[in-house]
Amino acid sequence: MRIKRALAIGAALVALSAVGACGSDDGNAGAGGAVASAGDTGQAGVGGLPKASDMASIASYLNEYTSCQDLATGDDYDADHGQDSAWGAQEAADASWAIKERGVCTDRSGHPIALLTVTDMKKFQTAAKTNGDEFLVGADFAVVPVGDEAVRSLQQSGLRFLTCDADFSAPSGYEKEPGLADGCVLTNYVPE
């Protein structure tokens, strides 16, 4: 599988140990512009992206498609796993990413999935473009799964693959729409 940089960073961390939406003025609504009410995860409207208000809501949403167990704060996960820390410790401390909170859960195979609540999806996408990172995103959150099974399972979740790679193309039949940062796209196609 061809995993892009953000996804590959997580895989590289695992190996070291043996391991937005579109069209909204506020950057948090989905393509349709409507927003689900605060609280539990929901759809942002017809054709929109899922929205989550907190870590528990993101984990609950992911559990509908793949395993997201043993949810911990990013700092607690990193402290317990040393060099096996999940993606985003430095980025969460950098205001340019607009990451409000970082958590980590694990899939069935024990691979980490970084969960990120995002206060400004346009800023997040701009930082992703600057750094060449790619993510699975909702309206106001992003996830970085490491395990191939989790990545494939989440492809069916309503999350969109965020890429700013100028050479990216999706096969016919997949959705592709502009992201909030110039040159970024959101698609339901996740490259192998």
**Phi and psi at residue 73, to the nearest 5°:** -65, 155
> Residue 139's pLDDT band (boundaries 50, 70, 90)?
very high
Q: What is the percent of the chain with per-residue pLDDT over 90, rounded to a whole number?
A: 70
Burial of 145 (0-12, 13-18, 19+ CB in 10 A): buried
pLDDT at position 122: 96
Average pLDDT of the segment spanning 64-76: 96
> Residue 119's pLDDT band (boundaries 50, 70, 90)?
very high
**Phi and psi at residue 83, to the nearest 5°:** -70, -15
- Contact between residue 188 and residue 173 where contact means Cβ atoms under 8 Å apart: no
- Contact between residue 23 and residue 121 where contact means Cβ atoms under 8 Å apart: no
DSSP 8-state code for residue 36: P
**DSSP-based three-state secondary structure for 103:** strand
Q: Is 44 a residue whose pLDDT tops 60?
A: no
pLDDT at position 187: 96
Residue of 140 and 14 predicted with greater confidence: 140
Q: Is 90 a residue whose pLDDT tops 50?
A: yes
Residue 81 to residue 39: CA distance in whole angstroms: 30
Q: Is 1 a residue whose pLDDT tops 60?
A: no
Q: Is 167 a residue whose pLDDT tops 90?
A: yes
Average pLDDT of the segment spanning 33-57: 62
* Nearest of 19, 17, 41 to residue 144 by alpha carbon: 19
Task: Report pTM.
Answer: 0.78
Q: Which residues contact 135 (CB under 8 A, 6 or more apart)?
A: 6, 128, 142, 143, 144, 161, 162
